[in-house]
Amino acid sequence: MAEEAVFSAVDADSIYRIPLMLHAQNLDEVAVKLLGLDLPAADLSEWQGYIDGYDALHDEVHVAMVGKYVHLTEAYKSLSEALTHAGVHTGSKVKIHYIDSEKLEQDVGDQLQGMDAILVPGGFGERGVEGKIAAVRFAREQGIPYLGICLGMQVAVIEYARNVAGLTDAHSTEFNPDSPNPVIALITEWLNADGKREQRDENSDLGGTMRLGGQECRLEPDSKVRELYGEEVIVERHRHRYEFNNSYLDRIVTAGMKIAGRSIDGRLMEIVEIPDHPWFIACQFHPEFTSRPALWASTLLRLHRGGAQTPGCDSMNLCGFPVGLDQPLFLIAGPCVIESEQLALDTAGQLQEITTALGIPFIYKSSFDKANRSSAGSYRGPGMEQVLKILEQVKSSLGLPLLTDVHEDTPLDEVAAVVDVLQTPAFLCRQTNFIQAVARQGRPVNIKKGQFLAPWDMKNVVDKARAVGNEQIMVCERGVSFGYNNLVSDMRALAVMRETGCPVVFDATHSVQLPGGQGSSSGGQREHVPVLARAAVAAGVSRHSSWRPIPIRSRRSVMVPTPGQLDKLQRLLETLLEIDRTVEAAWFCRAGAAVTAGAES
């Protein structure tokens, strides 16, 4: 055997270090060579990022896992690892306390006092059930964040039925077949993931008739889980036989428990919440089954920061990627206004190439009409109809999510049918009817703060948008007027605006604008764009940053990127990522932002 084919598998404090340790010994290169494969060099930067985050953990979160298999903790291995994944992405070192549910029925307060969160996982059989029910009651009454999984949802329903809905003898037919109030029971018929009808009864084989595998679940629009996932329909893996008994649906809902998710046919109750509790969610599925270091379970991600979360540090799903205090930098980029289809495709393609190489989520931004130009003769764009066709081409050709500005006279429904994110101009941030009309489109909205507005006043603007039921709101800092023809950026505004509970976008390009500084057009100090972008990320605006591309010279102030300018953008983004990782190592609640670099000159 060749000497180069001998590798050392040394002990490590985490299994996640092993791939990096073997990579350092060139195991992957040797394997590829032996197999005669022509492959590019391995890129483990994402994996290294996870380890860096793991090593930087400092906030300790104590989670009580209440079950009956706690003497063999490997029984909860996938769940324990999923909690670790979520902890890395919230900057939290998760300390799991395994609590024996059989010993919990009498001294529940003594064992659970001081816990930051309580989790009841899946399980089968009657043993320890009353201890789990006691744990649920303690979490509900004490306002402690609670997550129930599978059986953890069923005992949550039982506890609520007994102690809130007045069904004191409520139970599950799994544990008491003769229960007079079986709020959990065997469901005999349902549609599987392929739309086929399946049946079972009390005599069916225990394992062969379980509801298994990935199943679709429709989330209620005004629920915590809908905010978590950012999607109407999700797919999660199941493994159970018993369900919420719909005969008790009205009684339970009237008492205050919310049905937050249902099977795609509406017949099976998948998720319950308690709206007046800081963070109480229970689901019939197993989110831990699909958790990965780079793809963590949404419900687990928020468990330890759900009820005790710092105000203004909320998360959301934006165009298919998560955005929040626990998330890395993202980019909003593109020319200020569309000029031609080819230019739009070329610019979007080059930006996509840069961001893909750096692992930065990217949203393409451009406008069809710049209605707030300095003078009547300024170029405003080719108009909505033509630009929407161009944007559709960008989306279909490159698969990129889109953002564009809208105005008071914009047919919002037509634009929302094409683009993924709507942006409101800074000068219109106080216009209640306009803000609410945009929010009603059901798309994420990026609300730009007016140059005249104090950062704390953005809370009122956000409240207007949320009043119509849209929780997918971002707020954008783009500088504040300082005398005539000048803007300044106060980095304190980023911290103030995070109190809105929204991701905070920093528009680095417009922040260096000199409005009307050239008489009939605006001037700018593009050389200071990198300065402000670096400052914003260092101030904690990142974890989800956007940037609209570097200012470009053009007769119409439209971006015409040159290789040199794109190189500058790439180097700047590399610097921002490095700052971002440094800030993450000294974690605090970031403003949640997108640094923007536009095409204003």
- Enumerate the active-site residues: 150, 286, 288
Rounded CA-CA distance 199/204 in Å is: 9
SS3 assignment, position 100: strand
Are 463 and 486 in contact by the 8 Å Cβ rule? The answer is no
Rounded CA-CA distance 67/398 in Å is: 48
Rounded CA-CA distance 295/85 in Å is: 8
Q: Are strands 362-365 and 402-405 parallel, antiparallel or unpaired?
A: parallel
64 - beta bridge partners? 97, 118
Rounded CA-CA distance 293/36 in Å is: 30
Q: What is the DSSP string of 307-332?
A: TTPPTT---EEETTEEESTTS---EE
Place of tokens 């700047």: 572
Rounded CA-CA distance 435/413 in Å is: 14
**Strand locations in 121-257 (E):** 146-149, 170-172, 181-186, 189-191, 197-199, 211-219, 233-240, 242-244
Place of tokens 């005539």: 484
The phi, psi pair for 393, rounded to 5°, reads -65, -40
Place of tokens 């079950």: 67
CA proximity to 141, closest of 183, 172, 171, 109: 109
Are 67 and 120 in contact by the 8 Å Cβ rule? The answer is yes
Place of tokens 């979007």: 348
Give burial (CB, 10 Å; 0-12/13-18/19+) of 563. exposed
Place of tokens 């500005």: 405
Are 233 and 218 in contact by the 8 Å Cβ rule? The answer is yes
Are 73 and 107 in contact by the 8 Å Cβ rule? The answer is no
Are 402 and 367 in contact by the 8 Å Cβ rule? The answer is no
